[in-house]
Structure 1
Amino acid sequence: MDCVLVQCLPQNELYDARYQSENLALGYLSSSLRKNGFTVAVLDAHLEELAPQQTVDAILRYQPMIVGFSSSAQDSISSTFEVAKLLRASGYQGHITIGGHFPTYEHQKFLEYISELDSVVRGEGELTIVEIVQRVREGRNLIGVKGVTCRDEANKIVANSDRELVEVLDTLPLPDRPTLHHLMSKNRRVSILASRGCYARCTFCSIQTFFNYRPRRVRKTENVVSEMKALYDQGVRKFKFVDDLFMDPSKKSQEWVKDLCYKLKEADMTDLNIWLQVRAVCVKEDIFKELLGVGLKKVFLGLESGHADTLKRYRKDITPEQNLEAVQVLKRVGVPEISIGMMIFEPDLTVQGIRDNIEFLKKIGSFDIRDVTGRFLPYAATPLTEQLLQENRIKRNSWYDIGSYDFLDPTVGLLFEMVNRYSDIARPSLKAVYQLDGLVRHLEARVQRHVSYYKEYSEIRRQVENYINEHGQLMLHLVQDTVEAADRENGEISLKQWYDVAERMFKDVEKTAYMLIAEIRELVTELELIDGSVDSIHIAEVKVLGTVINE
């Protein structure tokens, strides 16, 4: 085997399985290698939920000449390091390379501190990985390969010149999808990419840095639809657009979306289940009516804050009122599910900023616990992180640690400390939320074969969505009460008293979650009995859960 491409499972106690999805980067790298005559395998340990040693064992079974890690997320980089170290400890002597956003920004440090690595791919990797495999196969070093940082014969780190971006995305071969069956068996969305890059200038984001501040590149609609049709013919209905930004506010972009919808209808694909993400300024009523006509089911809006000063510091180029209007438009046209992204806590936040965010979320009406507790994370290469580093405000345990910072307002710091503690207390009930999500997807897949049960499924789904919203509302009111108490007592509040309150509240909602879990499992078991494929453990779990609830 010439190359095995790997994504590792993040090591996170509160791993959010709701966002476990296909790694399209691995698919594009794989197809580029195959197009050039190389043998390649994809190992998505993230999707398959493989522990580090299991990942190593799976890699070694291929006996690859090269192992290529895709590791964009800074907060999961430690798991990749562990796999690389275990791989070398197991006797692997081949070439190990790594690529992704964070490796691109810190390519020198990767090779300085991780001796197990031989090279780092910077930026887009489809063309670079082909040249790496060719050079390694020929026994040549990587000096001169564009987009690569490596070591020379004297073990000195050399950063070769940057590789130009792929100007026309449609020239890339379509991504391999070795995990397609796995995704469909889990009733998950299949990823699709229509563009790369973003026009915006947000200070918390590093996408512009990654793409060298180049304009957004967009595929032709006919090619996107053709790719979707090939997947549709294999039974895929659930699609997730993984673009950094599905559309921009320009008239040209709006026309592109309308043309995409027209071509999807022309191809008789109107029963889709589509997920996409946009900025609030891109939300136009006519555009989203068109998208609903081809099966739009979920929209993610990165609102970030309901406080005007924070939005300015984030350089969002939008107001809280415009953010709110975008949500109202999506609700008005009937988008079934609206998810928002919020980073309420940021370095220069004031107590008034917290109050503004509380009122903003009340007006939004539906959200989850992350939208109340979210904060700006100082990821590498973002403008705001660079500013904080210059001001010597970031504290890190290591070079790859995301780090933390002190808030300018000590009262905000105290409130954030309390919110963190509230989040810890909420963990058991939050884990139940993730469990509910998985069960609802499993139930949805079963109901597709038993439409007579759709009414029961719809009612359960409504209860689950209400529970998730109530879970978030609980945290919101808890934070609001804490802020008011801090005002009354001039910041001298009893931490233990409030932590006890939080514990009682989240203990109660946890019981509600397990009641819902038992109800869903009971219906799943009933449908499995009809199919003749019942797993006896489901029945046992329902009985156990019932006992726990009754106690």
Structure 2
Amino acid sequence: MPPQKVLFIASEDEENLSVRYPAAALIKAGHSVEIAPFSVPNDTVRVLTQIKNFRPGLVAISMAFQCKAPAFFDLTRKIRAAGFSGHITVGGHFPTFEYRKILEAKMGIESVVRFEGEQALVELAEFLEGKRDLSSVSNLVYWVGSKIHENPTIDHFPDLNALPFPVRSDRPQVRLGENFATLVASRGCWHSACAYCCIGAFHARKKGQRHALRSVENIAKEIAWLYHKQGVRLFQFHDDNFLQEKEADNIVRLDGLMAALEHEKVDYDSTAFLIKARPDSITKEVATRLWKLGIVGVFLGVENATGTGLEALIRGSKLHHIDRAFELLHLHGIIVTYNLLIFHPDATLDEINENILFMKNHPMYPFDFGRAEVVAGSPLERQVMKEGLIRGSWPNWDYRIKDPLVDQMFRINLATFRRPEAGYSRLAHTLIALAYRAHVVQRLYPGKAAQQMDGDTRDLIVRSNMVVLDHILKMYALTARLVSKKDLDDLAGSIHTGCLAFIKEAEQITRRMDRLQMAEKKFRQAGVPGEVQISSFLRKLFRV
């Protein structure tokens, strides 16, 4: 048989590296590949049309997000109902652990690729070509008669430096006003123990460490291609931990990456980077190098600002690590954004009080808050099942928090902050993006207008955080009594009004940033960078 046509289906709000790496491996092996974005159910018709036009022999569906699994299940049924008779396989963190339930549901899915997919999908394509037996396809699970058969799994990381760079779109995405790309410098996590995370289990069968690194030279070559060929200036590393455990290793790696970028003629003074990091990885020497490299924003893994909460979530970090990280990153002009998992099975009101105090003491930083959710393969999943706390139904489990008042507070949160129309989730994401963008603009286009927008952004974040905090306190107060529907509606309405006003302010600042970035690029092309911020007349003209 000829080489296979392979269609990947995945959420693609940005270039999804979990399918773009396997896509590159398949192309290298001689197969044809297309990617069909499926981020919301409204994408269904377009996906079905793409299948009809491309006529693939293999459809590979990435189910990275457990919460979206029902939508992908429904899509699979519709693909079969539309007459597709080829092979459908699914992969990702969720199917890796829930492969048996997925196959037993008999939704038209023929196989599940567990763990990493590059080698497995190339081998599956070879099976469809008639070049190998299905039993020899690594990491594959499938039906044999009335039984589910599990093929042997690969017990080591692939050579990350030998993998072809992920498939990229012909034109780069634009995020925060700049040509943008995502990339990863590693796989796995050196901590691999957090209660709510499945990464440790995902790599548990591997020999040795559960963390593998690309060389700095390999990373720099990919950045250089994006920088020189696509004009990318904003890069976001999606590593679960961009930094390593030991300071000395981070210093060597960051110095080496800067040297490798210089060798590739990448002017990292003209680029900006966003990363995720654990608080215990941030030291003075590391923060200095992050600043020098051009890291403008860090999504910091705070997760809980109490000793008992950090212990319950098996974070492995301490409160003094969090305080040190905030202080050092602030001193280096790097914006911190964070999330607080104030709700978890063992959460107490005292713990929530401490987390609220932390929010109050850090008013300049955009944040979100919520519950540690159950994901397949995680220690949390095992805990709530063992302790009889599990509620709801597969695949989107719910659970009961042991303290009834905390559980009630969480339910109030769902009925108010998390109402679809409340606007809080949108506000939290908007302010995180705006904070990053203010720092991107400050780095790439320094000047009076950029400083003013940064100041306006900081002011908005502080005012918004105070209002959000006030509503969290109102939610807290409701836990002390019987709550009526009117109580919930009143709180939700107040949250909606406040969030909507702040979102409108954020949108106004965003439009100013749009105009400044556009004007700066035009003036730079004309050989007069910064002129638009120097001249008061031009600032008025461009409304920046």
**Structures share a fold, TM > 0.5?**
yes
Letter in 2 for 1:222: E
Indicate conservation of the 8 Å contact 2:245/2:281, yes or no. Answer: yes
Letter in 2 for 1:325: R
Indicate conservation of the 8 Å contact 1:284/1:329, yes or no. Answer: yes
Map of 1:229 onto structure 2: 224
Is it true that 1:170 corresponds to 2:161 in the alignment? yes
Partner deviation per Cα, 1:417-459 (whole Å, 9 max, x = no partner)? 222223145723654666788899999999999x79x754654
Q: How far has the Cα of 1:240 moved from its partner? A: 1.1
Range with bigger deviation, 247-256 or 100-109: 247-256
Measure the CA separation in 1 of the matches of 2:86 and 2:408: 50
After superposition, the Cα gap between the structure-2 partners of 1:174 and 1:237, relative to the gap in structure 1 and judged at 3 Å, is: same
Map of 1:73 onto structure 2: 65
Q: Which aligned pairs between 1:38-117 and structure 2 lie closer than 5 A?
A: 38-46=31-39, 51-117=43-109
Letter in 2 for 1:262: A
Q: 1:364 aligns with which of 347, 362, 371?
A: 362
Q: Which aligned pairs between 1:466-485 and structure 2 lie closer than 5 A?
A: 466-483=459-476
Range with bigger deviation, 508-517 or 274-283: 508-517
Q: How far has the Cα of 1:183 moved from its partner? A: 4.7
Letter in 1 for 2:35: V
- Normalising by structure 1, we get a TM-score of 0.83
Indicate conservation of the 8 Å contact 2:24/2:165, yes or no. Answer: yes
Indicate conservation of the 8 Å contact 1:4/1:43, yes or no. Answer: no
Measure the CA separation in 2 of the matches of 1:321 and 1:482: 29
Sequence identity (%): 24
Q: How far has the Cα of 1:84 moved from its partner? A: 1.3
Is it true that 1:204 corresponds to 2:196 in the alignment? yes
Measure the CA separation in 2 of the matches of 1:260 and 1:296: 13
Measure the CA separation in 2 of the matches of 1:529 and 1:187: 13
Partner deviation per Cα, 1:506-545 (whole Å, 9 max, x = no partner)? 414423433553575588689989999xxxxxxxxxxxxx
Q: How far has the Cα of 1:141 moved from its partner? A: 5.5
Indicate conservation of the 8 Å contact 1:9/1:49, yes or no. Answer: no
Q: Which aligned pairs between 1:11-26 and structure 2 lie closer than 5 A?
A: 20-26=13-19
Letter in 2 for 1:296: I
Partner deviation per Cα, 1:301-340 (whole Å, 9 max, x = no partner)? 11110121111111112222321221111111221x2111
Q: 1:375 aligns with which of 371, 394, 398?
A: 371
Map of 2:407 onto structure 1: 413
Is it true that 1:28 corresponds to 2:21 in the alignment? yes
Range with bigger deviation, 108-117 or 120-129: 108-117
Indicate conservation of the 8 Å contact 2:187/2:239, yes or no. Answer: yes
RMSD of aligned C-alpha atoms? 3.4
Q: How far has the Cα of 1:258 moved from its partner? A: 2.2
- Normalising by structure 2, we get a TM-score of 0.84
- What SS does the corresponding residue of 1:427 show, helix, strand or coil? coil
Q: Which aligned pairs between 1:333-348 and structure 2 lie closer than 5 A?
A: 333-335=332-334, 337-348=335-346
Q: How far has the Cα of 1:241 moved from its partner? A: 1.1
After superposition, the Cα gap between the structure-2 partners of 1:441 and 1:26, relative to the gap in structure 1 and judged at 3 Å, is: same
Measure the CA separation in 2 of the matches of 1:265 and 1:524: 30
Q: Which aligned pairs between 1:119-158 and structure 2 lie closer than 5 A?
A: 119-138=111-130, 142-152=134-144, 154-158=145-149
Map of 1:256 onto structure 2: 253
Q: How far has the Cα of 1:149 moved from its partner? A: 0.3
Map of 1:327 onto structure 2: 326
Letter in 1 for 2:244: D
Q: How far has the Cα of 1:24 moved from its partner? A: 1.0
- What SS does the corresponding residue of 2:14 show, helix, strand or coil? coil
Map of 2:150 onto structure 1: 159
